[in-house]
Structure 1
Amino acid sequence: MTVPHITLNDGHRIPQLGFGVFRVDPAETERIVGEALEAGYRHIDTAAVYGNEEGVGRAIASSGIPRDELFVTTKLWNSEQGRDTARPALEASLERLGLDHVDLYLIHWPRPDLDRYVETWQALASLRDAGLTRSIGVSNFTIAYLQRLLDETGVVPAVNQVELHPAFAQRELRAFQEPLGIHTEAWGPLGQGKYDLLAEKAVADAAAAHGATPAQVVIRWHLQQGIIVFPKSSTRDRIVENFDVFGFELTDAEMAAIDGLDRGQRVGADPETATF
């Protein structure tokens, strides 16, 4: 099964379907990521604050998969934002991961109250130039924060990883990013279980029509819009199921019906007010 790749605005390629490890128990991470790699995933998305980079690194090391066949993302936590703190933070992540570089490094949250995201972004550009990360991007950035980065640095992020699922489709943000070549990554693509997404009629009907599960339908909805997506699970069967989404295609009518679930319903933190 071949996962489609997307070419980023810096020329590097990213697998469109990856595996996320948010809230994966550090004690279980090596096993769970190992199972994901066995299932076929080659894109792993972690973060310093998750506390499980070491488990990700052990799974990668024991997998036997060549490094150039893997795409690894990690993120700079808010307390490490700053011109002089970003490099030590990335070096610490690399040590935990057992890698000499990551493929993508993100500012995890803008934290406008700190007002350090512009200087931090400049630092990330230097880390890219130094070869510690191949690509750089941001996470949870709104249009206003992206515009400020562009105005003050001229450096365009490769991706913006944001909360995105059928009830919160982020259409305005995506329309802003697309002409700039900023690709959208979705976290919480299944709504984090905070509303009954998988029982929605539009999802259930499409699942029945294709002999797929509701979760597979929602992942497929993301993929067919060109969104980079990484569902998370700690269960082997679900890990395999979430990867098995390339044997069917949603119709235009099915896509439109799921689009109709958008109601601006955020289930996670608001980047404008998040202060953790």
Structure 2
Amino acid sequence: MTTTLPLREIGRSGIRSSLFSLGSWHTYDRMDFADAVGMLREAVDRGVNLFDVGVYSAPGSPPVFTDVIFAGMVRAAGLRRDEWLLSSKLWLEAFGADGFRPQLENALMRVGVEHADLVILGDLRRDDLELRDLVLDLARLTDAGLIRAWGVNNWSATSIQTLIDIAAAEGVAGPRIAQLKYSVSRRSIPDGEPFARLWEQGLTLQASDCLEGGVLAGKVDGGRQIGRDPGDIRARIIADVPAFTEVASSLGVTPAQLGIGFTLTHPALTTTLFGASSVEQLRANLDAADLVERVGAAELRRLVEPFWADRGVVDPEGP
């Protein structure tokens, strides 16, 4: 009998997310639609309830429709809105006089829903923003029923602490979750002391990029679009793949399952985000949840210690 995934709270929001969440980045627009619908239905049946569905295009860039396709998948799979949680991205580059509302309403329109359960602020690359303006704008969106909770993607510990302090002073909700790169190779930030102080305050972790864009699963040919490379350590990660694969084989799992399973050992983890482009890949990834229980968190962390590539290279404070 296949068990369903456990649920964990997103920060102290009262919203309970599945242990795994499914991402849409450059995924559904390269799948057969019927296969994508079947995969979505199986994910929900297995207990996945959080779906990261962002608008991954900008003016002047080629159009991307993966979020629009997801809307069609939801309809075709016959999902009720109360069966799943929407996590949407908000980009600081587009934050202006009208706040986040225009881009949020556009994102909701493209997915065909009236609210996002969670929004994640993109990377903080602008130095002309007042963080208080962001916090208060998000509070207005919450009051309007457009969002239920919010978090940040790859922000520094100091900037997140500032958000928490501003929210407390204003009497509004602060960030509930931090989406961070977290893998056997990239551990310095989520495992470091600056973020440990945030976890103690109730912030929780959404692990992302846990397979380094497929590299840790053995896809090292460079044919896929991969995220940024903090610390310029990707060559080291690629070099580690054969030894990492041997450890996975010794445990009777695939490298992808070992990489995903590792993320579940973090004490502040709410959910691990991954993409899947087939039902078979989805099933294999979900089965990684059994690895920690079978091997033990401490032993699993010991086995993958040699592959910690950003130790002493990336500042634990974050970007």
TM-score range, shorter chain: 0.7 to 0.9
Query: Cα gap change, 1:151/1:43 in structure 2, threshold over 3 Å: closer, same or farther?
Result: closer
Instruction: Work out whether residues 180 and 207 of structure 2, in 8 Å CA contact, stay in contact via their aligned partners in 1.
Output: yes
Query: Cα gap change, 1:165/1:38 in structure 2, threshold over 3 Å: closer, same or farther?
Result: same
Partner secondary structure for residue 20 of structure 2: coil
1:255 to 279, 296, 301: 301
**Correspondence 1:180 to 2:201:** yes
Instruction: Work out whether residues 33 and 59 of structure 1, in 8 Å CA contact, stay in contact via their aligned partners in 2.
Output: yes
- 1:111-126 aligned within 5 A: 111-126=125-140
Instruction: Work out whether residues 203 and 258 of structure 1, in 8 Å CA contact, stay in contact via their aligned partners in 2.
Output: no
1:21 to 19, 24, 28: 24
**Correspondence 1:159 to 2:161:** no
Of 91-100 and 44-53, deviating more is 44-53
TM-score for the superposition, normalised by structure 1? 0.86
Question: Deviation per CA, 1:169-206, whole angstroms, max 9, x where unpaired?
Answer: 1212541321111111122111122433873535632x
Query: Cα gap change, 1:73/1:135 in structure 2, threshold over 3 Å: closer, same or farther?
Result: same
Deviation at residue 243 of structure 1 after TM alignment: 1.9
Following the alignment from structure 2 to structure 1, what is the Cα–Cα distance between the partners of residues 254 and 30? 29
Q: Which runs of 5+ in 1 are unaligned?
A: none
Query: Cα gap change, 1:197/1:234 in structure 2, threshold over 3 Å: closer, same or farther?
Result: farther
TM-score for the superposition, normalised by structure 2? 0.75
Deviation at residue 112 of structure 1 after TM alignment: 3.5
**Correspondence 1:204 to 2:260:** no
Instruction: Work out whether residues 76 and 105 of structure 1, in 8 Å CA contact, stay in contact via their aligned partners in 2.
Output: yes
Larger radius of gyration: 2
**Correspondence 1:214 to 2:258:** no
Following the alignment from structure 1 to structure 2, what is the Cα–Cα distance between the partners of residues 35 and 70? 15
**Correspondence 1:45 to 2:47:** no
Letter in 1 for 2:7: H
Instruction: Work out whether residues 88 and 118 of structure 2, in 8 Å CA contact, stay in contact via their aligned partners in 1.
Output: yes
Following the alignment from structure 1 to structure 2, what is the Cα–Cα distance between the partners of residues 254 and 162? 20
Following the alignment from structure 2 to structure 1, what is the Cα–Cα distance between the partners of residues 280 and 124? 35
Following the alignment from structure 1 to structure 2, what is the Cα–Cα distance between the partners of residues 243 and 111? 34
Q: Which residue in the other structure is 2:102 paired with?
A: 88
Q: Which residue in the other structure is 1:7 paired with?
A: 9
Query: Cα gap change, 1:200/1:166 in structure 2, threshold over 3 Å: closer, same or farther?
Result: farther
Deviation at residue 34 of structure 1 after TM alignment: 2.3
Query: Cα gap change, 1:127/1:217 in structure 2, threshold over 3 Å: closer, same or farther?
Result: same
Q: Which runs of 5+ in 2 are unaligned?
A: 58-63, 216-233
Following the alignment from structure 1 to structure 2, what is the Cα–Cα distance between the partners of residues 184 and 32? 30
Of 36-45 and 153-162, deviating more is 36-45
Instruction: Work out whether residues 157 and 182 of structure 1, in 8 Å CA contact, stay in contact via their aligned partners in 2.
Output: yes
Question: Deviation per CA, 1:21-56, whole angstroms, max 9, x where unpaired?
Answer: 222263648556424323323321121225322111
Instruction: Work out whether residues 161 and 198 of structure 2, in 8 Å CA contact, stay in contact via their aligned partners in 1.
Output: no
Q: How many residues align?
A: 269
Query: Cα gap change, 1:33/1:157 in structure 2, threshold over 3 Å: closer, same or farther?
Result: farther
Q: Which residue in the other structure is 2:186 paired with?
A: 168
Following the alignment from structure 1 to structure 2, what is the Cα–Cα distance between the partners of residues 48 and 237? 26
Q: Which residue in the other structure is 2:281 paired with?
A: 238
